[in-house]
């Protein structure tokens, strides 16, 4: 049965499919410590469902197995470049010179596609139905893609999909770390695969690359410092002290992923390839400031970027402009300072002051 499930998963477009038991994950105590230290920031849902995350039986009573799935979102080999450390990457570390061009921001690679929740979810639903049919009457299966109360990285490592790197993301020896994870909990008993062991060795490139030092120790992330959290999950003001390190990133950050040496094995995934939206990579920051709610929804319909909402994206664009823009951004930022939304007005004012401190003069707003 296991071979049949794996074959069906590959037919549906997944790049890897492996199996583990539905026993509690080993990192339950680490999760509790992480929450107790408030390193989850404002993500209260992680605390609310912590009990379920540490016990799959509370998610699906009678669960016997977990099917761990991976889908690569790596770009074609021709799009990779070799960094100074000898590793392959697509985005360089932030520098003023590299990111001042035309007031453009930078979007994390995973968001440059149709929303992966939708793409993977459709296939997961089909695969879960196949598992139920294979198991016969009474078999029940639940599928999740980054949405359910499960410690998916722990389960993925136990299934042998990959190992949790020092940046706290899963690294696959055959796919690198440009991967989406998904899982199916099922009451069908399937023989588990061998777990993967950690293969980071003495490498600390991900820790060194993090602009805000959010990886506070090997395998320990403080989400409150992470640019992905600051630009997506955080709904309030971005701490002033962290704004300069964000650079021109407006939705997520890939720095710790991009420097991982295991990416030499990364390959383009068959499932996500047709859903690529390369035009989302570097949006015009001044254009983002002009979008109203309806315009924002049209511009990013069907993509992960809707998660930030118009308010969050304008906030992020203001920070990015404050870091990299020239005088051309001043009039548009000035207009945002007049908005009734105090959050946006404050971030725009911060950006204005940063640009003016660089000696910029005020041109016409386009």
Active-site amino acid positions: 146
Smallest CA-to-CA distance from 207 within 249, 252, 264, 256 is with 256
Cβ atoms of residues 69 and 176 within 8 Å = no
Q: Are strands 220-221 and 106-107 parallel, antiparallel or unpaired?
A: unpaired
Cβ atoms of residues 179 and 70 within 8 Å = yes
Phi and psi torsions of 181, nearest 5°: -105, 150
Smallest CA-to-CA distance from 220 within 155, 255, 169 is with 169
Sign of CA dihedral 207, 209, 212, 214: negative
Collapsed DSSP state (helix, strand, coil) of residue 162? coil
State the Cα–Cα distance between residues 81 and 263, nearest whole angstrom: 11
Residue 179 pairs in a beta bridge with 72
Tokens of 321: 């402009």
Smallest CA-to-CA distance from 95 within 322, 326, 258, 324 is with 324
Tokens of 231: 């630009």
Smallest CA-to-CA distance from 330 within 366, 294, 293, 291 is with 366
Q: 């921001």: which residue's tokens?
A: 105
Cβ atoms of residues 190 and 67 within 8 Å = yes
Q: How far is CA 311 from the centre of its chain?
A: 19
State the Cα–Cα distance between residues 143 and 152, nearest whole angstrom: 11
């Amino acid at each position: 049965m296991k071979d049949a499930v794996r074959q069906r998963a590959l037919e549906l477009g997944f790049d890897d499919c492996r199996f583990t038991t539905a026993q509690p994950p080993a990192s339950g105590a680490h999760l509790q410590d992480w929450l107790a230290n408030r390193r989850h920031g404002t993500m209260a849902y992680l605390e609310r469902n912590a009990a379920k995350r540490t016990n799959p039986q509370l998610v699906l009573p009678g669960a016997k197995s977990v099917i761990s799935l991976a889908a690569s979102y790596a770009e074609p080999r021709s799009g990779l470049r070799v960094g100074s450390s000898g590793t392959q990457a697509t985005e360089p570390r932030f520098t003023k010179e590299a990111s001042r061009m035309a007031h453009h921001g930078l979007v994390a690679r995973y968001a440059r596609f149709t929303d992966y929740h939708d793409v993977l979810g459709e296939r997961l639903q089909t695969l879960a139905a196949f598992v139920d049919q294979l198991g016969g009457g009474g078999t029940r299966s639940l599928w999740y893609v980054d949405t359910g109360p499960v410690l998916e990285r722990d389960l993925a490592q136990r299934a042998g999909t990959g190992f949790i790197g020092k940046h706290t993301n899963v690294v696959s020896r055959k796919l690198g770390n440009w991967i989406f994870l998904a899982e199916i909990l099922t009451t069908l008993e399937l023989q588990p695969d061998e777990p993967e062991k950690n293969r980071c060795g003495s490498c600390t490139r991900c820790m060194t690359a993090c602009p805000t030092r959010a990886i506070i120790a090997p395998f320990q992330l403080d989400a409150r410092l992470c640019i992905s959290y600051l630009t997506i999950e955080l709904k309030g003001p971005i701490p002033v002290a962290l704004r300069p390190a964000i650079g021109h990133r407006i939705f997520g950050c890939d720095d710790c992923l991009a420097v991982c040496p295991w990416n030499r094995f990364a390959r383009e995934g068959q499932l996500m390839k047709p859903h690529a939206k390369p035009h989302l990579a570097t949006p015009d920051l001044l254009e983002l400031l002009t979008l109203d709610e309806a315009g924002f929804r049209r511009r990013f319909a069907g993509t992960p970027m809707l998660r930030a909402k118009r308010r969050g994206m304008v906030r992020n664009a203001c920070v990015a402009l404050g870091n990299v823009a020239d005088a051309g951004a001043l009039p548009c930022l000035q207009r945002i300072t007049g908005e009734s939304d105090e959050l946006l007005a404050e971030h725009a004012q911060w950006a204005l002051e940063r640009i003016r401190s660089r000696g910029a003069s005020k041109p016409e707003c386009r």
